[in-house]
Every structure is written in C-alpha cells, then in structure tokens.
Amino acid sequence: MRAQPKGSHFINGAWVEDESGAIIESIHPANGEVIARLHEATPEIINKALEAAQRAQADWAARAPVERGRILRRAADLLRARNHDLSVLETLDTGKPLQETLVADAASGADALEYFGGFAATVTGQTIPLGRDMAYTLREPLGVCAGIGAWNYPIQIACWKAAPALAFGNAMVFKPSEITPLSALALAEILCEAGLPAGLFNVVQGRGAVGAALATDARVAKVSLTGSVPTGRKVYAAAATGIKAVTMELGGKSPLIVFEDADLDNAVGAAMLGNFYSSGQICSNGTRVFVQRSVKAEFLEKLKARAARIVLGDPLDESTQMGPLVSEEQMTRVLGYIAQGQGEGARLVCGGTRAGESGCFVQPTVFADVHDDMVIAREEIFGPVMTVLDFEDEEEVITRANATDYGLAAGVFTRDLARAHRVVGQLQAGTCWINSYNLTPVEMPFGGVKASGVGRENGHAALEHYTRVKTVYLGLGDVESPY
C-alpha cells in the first residue's frame, strides 16, 4: 500500500496501533486503490490520547509564549520543505489534483502555523483602573481541545485548529475524517520533529462515534468541528451538556451575486473557482450564482466555453485541473442531485454526467433557469454543480440571497463599490468577498452565521476561541466591611 503510515494513531509523541479497532481503508478515489489500512480508535486508545494531552498541557501553558511560537514556526518550515510529498499524500487521500494540493493544502497549513507562531508572544491582558483599586485580565488556555475534521481539506483543517490551540497553550486530540485519515498523522510527526513536547498534538482515527466520545469526555474543554450542519447539531448538543466551548465550521449554500456592471470575465472566473475548485467540495462555495438578467446570456456563454476547457483526469498529473470526488458515496450523492435538478426542470448548460467508467469523476455541471425553491438551489451538494439564478434588482437579490438557513459566505461582483459595500452590509454571511471569491488567507477571520456555524477560525478572532479571560481584582487599601 503506497501510503501506509507507521501506525493508525499518533499519541504522546509516538505511533500507536491497536488492531482490535474496526478497519478503516483509505481509498484513492481516482482508481479505487486502497492506499492505507488503519484501525479505528478503541475506548482505550481515546483514553490514552486524552490522558497524554492532559498530562502535557500544564507544562506547555507554563512555557514562555515566544518559545511555543518558535516551535510552531519551525513546524511551518518543515511543512513547506516537505510540501511536495505532503501534497502527493493529500492528492492520494482526497483525489484533489496535485495542481491544487501543491499550493492550497500543506501550504495553507504552514501559513497557519507561522501566523499563530508569531501571534503567541503578542497576547496580553488588560489593566482596568478602579480608583484606589485596580483589576487586570489574563488570557489563559482552555486546556485540552478536541478537533474533528472534514475530508475536503484534511491537513489545512488540522492546522487551522492545532496552530491557534497550541500557540495559546492548549493541547489537542484531533480526529480526522475516516475518509481522509493520513495527513493529520504526517502533521503530528512534523510537529514532534519541530520540538513540540509529546502529548500536545495527538491524532486518533475513527468514525463519528470516536468524535462523539471526544465531544462528551469531561477532560475536553473545547470542541472544534469542521463538518456538515447535521453533524454540527449533534456535536454542539453534546458539547452543551458538558458546558464546553465550541467552534463549529459547518456547511453552506452561499450566494454569489453578479450585477450587470461587473467585469464578466472576472465574475465567470470566480464562479468557476467557487464551484469547481476541489471538485466543488468546499464549504464556502458560491453555489447559488445570481446573475442580473440583462447579462445572463453573455455570462452563460462565457461560462460554458470556459467550463468545456476544464481538464479532468489523473489527479497526480500536474496538468489535471479537476480530479474525482472524494468517494463513491459522494459521487452517487452528487449525481443524485444532478438528476433531481433535471427532474425539477432546471436547464442543463453543461456537464450533468459521470466522467469516465472508473473513478469517482463528475463533469463540471452548470444549471441555468434555476428557481429558489428547487432542491438544487436549497441543499448543499458538495460537488461540481453550479446553479445560476436570474434577478432584476438589488433589493430583490438581497432578500433571495438571505432566504436560506445557511450563512457561511457570499460574494458580490460589481464595478460600483458603493453598491458592493451596501449589499455586503445586508448579506447574512460570515465572510463576504467583493470582486473576488473563496480566498481565505489566515490573517482573515473565517466562519459562519445562522446554521453555518459558531465561532471564527484564523485572524485575531481565533484568540477568543482558544483562550478564556481570567479577571483579577487587586485590592490596594483596607477592606471596607460592614461586619
């Protein structure tokens, strides 16, 4: 097997195996090849990881922040130095083309480690004058954090959670998606090599039940999930029982609004990026593309011509632009939505079928004449399926863009910047792009509103979600007691 790791789990700075756990196979979705066989964490393994994390955390929190940061920045350098191998691993595990993984996965993970590595030593509290007395605040780590990841950006998700957690003095037990279990293990090994003390970043494999065990364990102070809304509801509820802090990065059905004065070539390019990159398996994708009626025909014509040129194929070939979906199950789901779109009367502009006989490939698909009440315009498909909807005016499109339970992201294309700001001011979304789409640099907070999530990852905002404030009142005179 081409990507077999040295063990299923990484705990307390070492590889760990327990063959009594159920088997997890990592499958390369371009050809069905089993690239690794691992075992699900048993309750003993989960316990071992949590014990190790708890043991290591107090000493880590007591270290100088600049020292913690230095280790993370060293890990960022190692990730960058090994970017090629890590990208191949991610491509094998997810099916995403190497052309993408070389620039978007371990590379963005390294950015997070570098950013939070630098941030660590800048964290300060407040002093609060109170007349004779005073108070001050301290930013303390939360303790042991559980990270639970989705399968679309495995190493990026692991880094987006581990980097702030570790920078601010926490320990983490991370469970990758069972579909993409490999790169989090590589990250654990690299963190160790960079000098991270044993026990601070542990990886345990498993399906939902392993995630649920972490989310309900009394030793876990915080749960950070990237996943779907249904899973988010369960994990949020489980965490609530233990009054734990949460970050929930969930799904979306984001609007991308193209006004008639937009640069249409840029708008088409952004709509394609926001629907076809990673075969459409991106939470913040602008899957509801609202195009002002006067430019609809031109927009669709340009889109169709460019979509026809997308190169589908072997994701390990660097000239390939679109790989397979992550699994057969996901491909079947996406093809089901495409059939449903056709059944509902949406007009297929291009794509609409599986590509090739083997592998989980689906053609880039565009539906036009889509109505708000169609299932393909309401539900998250998580595949290369764009829906194009027409609109007449600004007020109407804002109302329709907001008419969803989701609120992860939104985009606006227009040359009228006053309108752009006015519109994003009214959109119910955690992240908005103006004349751009789907760029998520680590400097920028990212997260959803409404059913798309709670909390923010990245940027200064992450500090709020991986630390808590302790207030200290300092009495500087006699105690005034009536007794």
Over the window 41 to 60, marking each residue x when it contacts ligand NDP by CB under 6 A and - when it does not, the resulting string is --------------------
Contacts (Cβ under 8 Å, ≥6 apart) of 179: 26, 151, 326, 327
Tell me which of 250, 338, 386, 398 binds ligand NDP, using CB under 6 A.
Answer: 250
Q: How far is the CB of 438 from ligand NDP (least distance, A)?
A: 11
Q: Which of 283, 350, 360, 432 is catalytic?
A: 283
Tell me which of 91, 99, 226, 287 binds ligand NDP, using CB under 6 A.
Answer: 226
Task: Select the span of 125-133, 246-254, 255-263, 303-311 touching ligand NDP (CB under 6 A).
Answer: 246-254
Q: How far is the CB of 461 from ligand NDP (least distance, A)?
A: 14
Task: Select the span of 78-86, 221-229, 253-261, 467-475 touching ligand NDP (CB under 6 A).
Answer: 221-229
Q: How far is the CB of 284 from ligand NDP (least distance, A)?
A: 7
How many Cβ atoms sit within 10 Å of the Cβ of residue 34? Answer: 13
Q: How far is the CB of 342 from ligand NDP (least distance, A)?
A: 23
Tell me, yes or no, if 318 is annotated catalytic.
no
The DSSP code for 42 is P
Task: Select the span of 185-193, 195-203, 247-255, 313-321 touching ligand NDP (CB under 6 A).
Answer: 247-255
Residue numbers 407-466 binding ligand NDP by CB under 6 A: 408, 448, 453
Residue numbers 345-374 binding ligand NDP by CB under 6 A: none
Confirm if 215 and 46 have CB atoms less than 8 A apart.
no
Rule CB under 6 A: say whether 171 interacts with ligand NDP.
no
Q: How far is the CB of 179 from ligand NDP (least distance, A)?
A: 6
Instruction: Identify the CA nearest to 89 among candidates 207, 2, 177.
Output: 2
User: Looking at beta carbons only, is 212 or 461 nearer to ligand NDP?
Assistant: 212
Strands 144-148 and 220-226: parallel
Furthest CA-CA distance within the chain: 86
User: Looking at beta carbons only, is 73 or 465 nearer to ligand NDP?
Assistant: 465
Confirm if 166 and 16 have CB atoms less than 8 A apart.
no
**Residues contacting ligand NDP: total by CB under 6 A:** 31
Rule CB under 6 A: say whether 283 interacts with ligand NDP.
yes
Tell me which of 7, 208, 242, 356 binds ligand NDP, using CB under 6 A.
Answer: 208
Rule CB under 6 A: say whether 105 interacts with ligand NDP.
no
Task: Select the span of 64-72, 104-112, 207-215, 334-342 touching ligand NDP (CB under 6 A).
Answer: 207-215
Contacts (Cβ under 8 Å, ≥6 apart) of 117: 68, 69, 70, 71, 72, 73, 75, 76, 163, 167
Tell me which of 105, 114, 178, 217 binds ligand NDP, using CB under 6 A.
Answer: 178
Could you identify the residue written with the tokens 């100088």? 64
Confirm if 406 and 389 have CB atoms less than 8 A apart.
no
Angstrom distance (rounded) from CA 13 to CA 240: 30
Rule CB under 6 A: say whether 381 interacts with ligand NDP.
no
68's tokens: 């913690």
Tell me, yes or no, if 457 is annotated catalytic.
yes
Angstrom distance (rounded) from CA 190 to CA 78: 7
Confirm if 411 and 256 have CB atoms less than 8 A apart.
yes
Radius of gyration of the chain (CA): 23
Instruction: Identify the CA nearest to 448 among candidates 227, 252, 289, 270.
Output: 252
Q: Which of 249, 296, 380, 432 is catalytic?
A: 249
Task: Select the span of 79-87, 115-123, 173-181, 354-362 touching ligand NDP (CB under 6 A).
Answer: 173-181
Q: Which of 161, 175, 244, 302 is catalytic?
A: 161
Residue numbers 108-167 binding ligand NDP by CB under 6 A: 148-152
Tell me which of 215, 221, 420, 462 binds ligand NDP, using CB under 6 A.
Answer: 215
Q: What is the DSSP string of 178-221?
A: TTS-SHHHHHHHHHHHTTPPTTSEEE---SHHHHHHHHH-TTEE
User: Looking at beta carbons only, is 367 or 382 nearer to ligand NDP?
Assistant: 382
How many Cβ atoms sit within 10 Å of the Cβ of residue 336? Answer: 13
Confirm if 327 and 359 have CB atoms less than 8 A apart.
no
Angstrom distance (rounded) from CA 161 to CA 116: 11
Residues of this chain that interact with ligand NDP (CB under 6 A) are 148-152, 175, 177-179, 207-208, 211-212, 215, 225-228, 231, 234-235, 249-252, 283, 380, 382, 408, 448, 453
Active-site amino acid positions: 161, 249, 283, 457
